[in-house]
Structure 1
Amino acid sequence: MKGLLIIYSYKFVLHCAIEPDQKNLTIISLFFIYLVTMIGNLLVIVVITTNPHLHTPMFLYICFLAIIDAVNSSNLIPRMLAVLLFNSSAVPYGPCLLQMSVVYFLGIVEAHLLVVMACDRYVAVVYPLRYPSIVTSKVVWVSIFLVNIIALAILTPYLVYVRELSFCRTNILPYCFCDYSTMVQISCTNDPKYIVIFTTIITGVGGLAIILFSYGRIVVAALKISSADGKKKVFSTLLTHLLVVCLFYLPLMISYILPGIGVQLSAEAYNVLVIIAIMVPPMMNPIIYSFRNKEIKGSIYRLWTRKRTTPDSH
């Protein structure tokens, strides 16, 4: 009991590796990213939840993605701004562990959700006539539930191990928020690299392989479409999805695989990779997935003009 009280009274000090001449630009950039992220994602959530005509599988997945992005950004950016603006760098052990858990949990959920969304588009393009009977509302909610259960199962080993870490050298985390890898780096406990490598293979390499396979089949099916407009629409959607996937997967895989195999990244390089992977996609997702969509743009217009939504004639 005494050991638990000691560890829970422990405090970490967040150290953002940002040059003094870049501090103001970083603060402005973070504030802009957070503002755009919250406005975009909250608008998507409101539009989809209030419009019954958008309660289809694709839009339900987009709505869940917007919720993940809004929560994850709120978990990270305000704390980073507090560190940079008010030098509020001391974080108790409990809140630090909570922030780390939320970051990892939502990251794993989003990784698997992107896989589910790729499979959804695969069925829609390759089996268009059977799509309504295959991807039902029940299937959507079950898949979302399973994505969360899988993420919790993958997160559990991290939570078990991180509670066993001892910190005898320093309490300074060389980053702007609490992160598993940085906790391991400053601890006095041997790092079981297999945890990072194993989970990265499952969530990163495995998920990316399924996404690429699905998109490969979509390309083959799109080439068989006789209509030029139909091909253009499919390839336009495919390229935007791939952009989001690359922004999300590649920096995270690099930042976790390299330290996992013993390659040390500089604090600046690690910061850039994680910021790109965690903060840029939530800002871009509403633009890429939603605001280019005619149904959502029409719903936003009706929301702002306070016009009632009427069912389509067809």
Structure 2
Amino acid sequence: MENVTFSTMVFILECLDYYQQKNLITIILFFIYFLTLIGNILVIIVITLDHQLQTPMYFYIGILACIDLTCSTNIIPRMLCAVLFDQVVPRIACFVQLYTLHHLETFLLTFMAFDRYVAVVNPLRYRSIVTNKMVTLSFVVSNILSIFTVVPFLLQVNSLQFCRTNVIPYCMCDYITMVRLACVDFLSFLIPGSTVCAVLQIFPLGSIIFSYSKIVEAVLKISSKEGRKKAFSTCLTHLMVVGIFYIPFFIAYVLPSTGISAEEYNIIAIIPCIIPPMFNPIIYSFRNKEMKKGILKLICKRRVVPDPTTVNGHI
């Protein structure tokens, strides 16, 4: 039978239909989203209210929390909706999810690595180099780079005609999957997309690795053991965040080539999108003394009630 081409206004997510333990997976997704919401909102509130935390490093942490919150909110509720209620996704919602999924958080992580580089290698000039104005500029640049790299792919997907079906056999709208459904030569779309994605992921990672190689080189020159320990401690938190972002990401790209099933690929593709946003605020909260103090001040803040037996400080 000949293929029928059509331009669809909705897509259907076949999410978790083939899992026997669908209820358990649904509970896990609720739990992950709950932790993500609480953690990232708490980080944003603490940084906003505590004036001592309104420095470039913490502004970067706050921006990362905003990105994580946006990413999770565009992915997990849609997945839960597809599982529990309605699998239909409007075309515009699918494109918003596509942009969120491919929003290049790696650029922000690169600027954060530069922040740590200056703090360790050139601490005396840190305040003059890394300013709040520079943080704002780096955030704007990150978004501009994301727009110029992601929007062309969205326009490309928007122009596609689809064959036979508009059913996406995964839990989210993914560029590669949507191209597979379209009436086009798959490789002609896959190769440019994969090349751009690889370059834009590897270049920031290379910059991060270079920054930390220079940081290690500078730290090893510190004569004081306590000084070396403090310098490494200030960088370890960011390295953990980088690892949590990149390790699942590379696993999601490498394992499909090993011949895993569609069900396994679905889980692998989801993990890089939902796990880092949950762990990032936990890492920053437990690894950073100032963040812990800010959170404790926010949670334990009490109004001081005057003692009725004292007047103007006298008994």
Matches within 5 A, 1:100-115: 100-105=98-103, 108=104, 110-115=105-110
Provide the rounded CA distance (Å) in 1 between the counterparts of 2:16 and 2:83. Answer: 11
**Structure 1 residue 268: deviation in Å?**
2.9
Aligned to 1:199: 196
Q: Is the 8 A contact 2:111 2:138 kept in 1?
A: yes
Instruction: Calculate the TM-score normalised by the size of structure 2.
Output: 0.87
Q: Is the 8 A contact 1:200 1:257 kept in 2?
A: no
Provide the rounded CA distance (Å) in 2 between the counterparts of 1:295 and 1:246. Answer: 22
Provide the rounded CA distance (Å) in 2 between the counterparts of 1:165 and 1:185. Answer: 11
Give me the identity figure in percent: 50
User: Match of 2:57, as an amino acid?
Assistant: M
Matches within 5 A, 1:251-262: 251-253=248-250, 255-256=252-253
Q: Is the 8 A contact 2:43 2:281 kept in 1?
A: yes
Q: Is the 8 A contact 2:14 2:170 kept in 1?
A: yes
Aligned to 1:91: 89
Aligned to 1:177: 172
Secondary structure in 1 aligned to 2:124?
coil
Which ranges in structure 2 are unaligned for 5 or more consecutive residues?
1-5, 304-315
Matches within 5 A, 1:225-264: 225-253=222-250, 255-256=252-253
Provide the rounded CA distance (Å) in 1 between the counterparts of 2:282 and 2:72. Answer: 16
Secondary structure in 2 aligned to 1:39?
helix
Aligned to 1:15: 14
Number of matched pairs: 296
Q: Is the 8 A contact 1:125 1:218 kept in 2?
A: yes
Distance 1:300 1:247, change over 3 A: closer
Between 1:146-155 and 1:234-243, the stretch displaced more is: 234-243
Q: Does 1:128 align with 2:126?
A: no
**Structure 1 residue 274: deviation in Å?**
2.3
User: Match of 2:209, as an amino acid?
Assistant: L
Q: Does 1:67 align with 2:66?
A: yes
* The structure with more radius of gyration: 2
Provide the rounded CA distance (Å) in 1 between the counterparts of 2:106 and 2:21. Answer: 31
**Structure 1 residue 285: deviation in Å?**
0.4
Provide the rounded CA distance (Å) in 1 between the counterparts of 2:119 and 2:14. Answer: 47
Provide the rounded CA distance (Å) in 2 between the counterparts of 1:280 and 1:111. Answer: 16
Secondary structure in 2 aligned to 1:13?
strand
Matches within 5 A, 1:114-153: 114-153=109-148
Provide the rounded CA distance (Å) in 2 between the counterparts of 1:24 and 1:172. Answer: 22
**Structure 1 residue 236: deviation in Å?**
3.5
Between 1:155-164 and 1:143-152, the stretch displaced more is: 155-164
Partner deviation per Cα, 1:216-270 (whole Å, 9 max, x = no partner): 11111111222323322333443443332232124334545787xx887632333
**Runs of 4+ that moved beyond 4 A:** 256-259, 262-265
Between 1:10-19 and 1:36-45, the stretch displaced more is: 10-19
Q: Is the 8 A contact 2:17 2:83 kept in 1?
A: no
Secondary structure in 2 aligned to 1:245?
helix
Aligned to 1:211: 208
Provide the rounded CA distance (Å) in 2 between the counterparts of 1:94 and 1:47. Answer: 34
Provide the rounded CA distance (Å) in 2 between the counterparts of 1:111 and 1:178. Answer: 21
Between 1:38-47 and 1:219-228, the stretch displaced more is: 219-228
Aligned with 2:294 (options 284, 299, 304): 299
Distance 1:257 1:180, change over 3 A: farther
Aligned to 2:51: 52
CA-based RMSD of the aligned residues comes to 2.2
Between 1:30-39 and 1:226-235, the stretch displaced more is: 226-235
**Structure 1 residue 123: deviation in Å?**
0.8
User: Match of 1:214, as an amino acid?
Assistant: S
Q: Is the 8 A contact 1:248 1:281 kept in 2?
A: yes
Between 1:90-99 and 1:58-67, the stretch displaced more is: 90-99
Instruction: Calculate the TM-score normalised by the size of structure 1.
Output: 0.87
Aligned to 1:35: 34
Provide the rounded CA distance (Å) in 2 between the counterparts of 1:219 and 1:167. Answer: 51
**Structure 1 residue 300: deviation in Å?**
1.4
Provide the rounded CA distance (Å) in 1 between the counterparts of 2:51 and 2:99. Answer: 34
**Structure 1 residue 276: deviation in Å?**
2.0
User: Match of 1:54, as an amino acid?
Assistant: L
Partner deviation per Cα, 1:260-290 (whole Å, 9 max, x = no partner): xx88763233323322211111011011123
